[in-house]
Amino acid sequence: MANKDETDFMLEEYKQIAKAFSDLYIQMNNILKLYLTLISIGSTAIVTILTVGSNLFSETTTIFGLLSIEQLAGTSFFVLAIVGMTILASMIGTRIEMLRYARTINCIRGYFANKHTEIKNYLVLPTYDDKTPPFFESLNRPFIWQVIMLSSLNSILIIVSVNVYFSIPQINFIGNVFFVALIFIGQMFMYYGICWSREKEYIAKIEKPKQQENKDAAK
């Protein structure tokens, strides 16, 4: 009876975690769609306002006596970039939660594979340890390319905001590329930092019970 209860629990846990993984996958796709919609509509609206405003008003005209048309557009681009970075951080957090669920699913699958060795040959999906898949993904995984794409767009928006805000007449291509790359690298470090901190937190949680078991066994 105990074995049946144990098996029933693991099966129910598997179902719930698999469902949670699927829900997070949908949520992350919705976040990406929100980002792309926000960037495309927002950038189009800002450029339209800048173009129309430049034709209707003089260079000395200010909005509410505070900002010129160019400064308003530059500030809007900058705000858009900050929102984009926030969405990127949210996507990274959601992806890490998905990978945590994936690890748990793999462990449960491994539990049944070890308990019933005859089914191992029929399991197509992995039965890895509780540290696989890794939080920091390599270039052969689709998500890292989403991070690269969003980081690139955010970096370009920040440089565009600076050029528009200060009305730089001649764009220094090499200088802009340098700063875009610098901001891009900063966001990649943010991605790596979040993954590293969550990995460290995760390992601490799974290692603590194991250490306690070893202490109890040693007594």
DSSP 36-95: HHHHHHHHHHHHHHHHHHHHHS-TT-EETTTEEHHHHHHHHHHHHHHHHHHHHHHHHHHH
Which residues have a Cβ under 8 Å from the Cβ of 150 and sit 6 or more positions away? 35, 84, 87, 88, 91, 187
Instruction: Give the per-residue pLDDT at 104.
Output: 82
Instruction: Give the per-residue pLDDT at 59.
Output: 55
Domain boundaries, the chain: 2-218
10-residue averages of pLDDT along the chain (219 residues) = 66 84 89 90 86 66 65 89 93 90 81 74 62 80 92 94 78 83 95 90 73 60
**62-63/67-68 β-pairing:** antiparallel
pTM for the predicted model, two decimal places: 0.79
CA dihedral of 6, 12, 18, 21, whole degrees rounded to 10: -100
Q: What is the DSSP string of 3-42?
A: HHHHHHHHHHHHHHHHHHHHHHHHHHHHHHHHHHHHHHHH
Which residues, listed in sequence order, are joined to residue 62 by a DSSP beta bridge?
Answer: 68
Question: Which of helix, strand or coil describes residue 168?
Answer: coil
Which residues have a Cβ under 8 Å from the Cβ of 80 and sit 6 or more positions away? 38, 39, 42, 43, 46, 157, 161
Instruction: Give the per-residue pLDDT at 214.
Output: 60
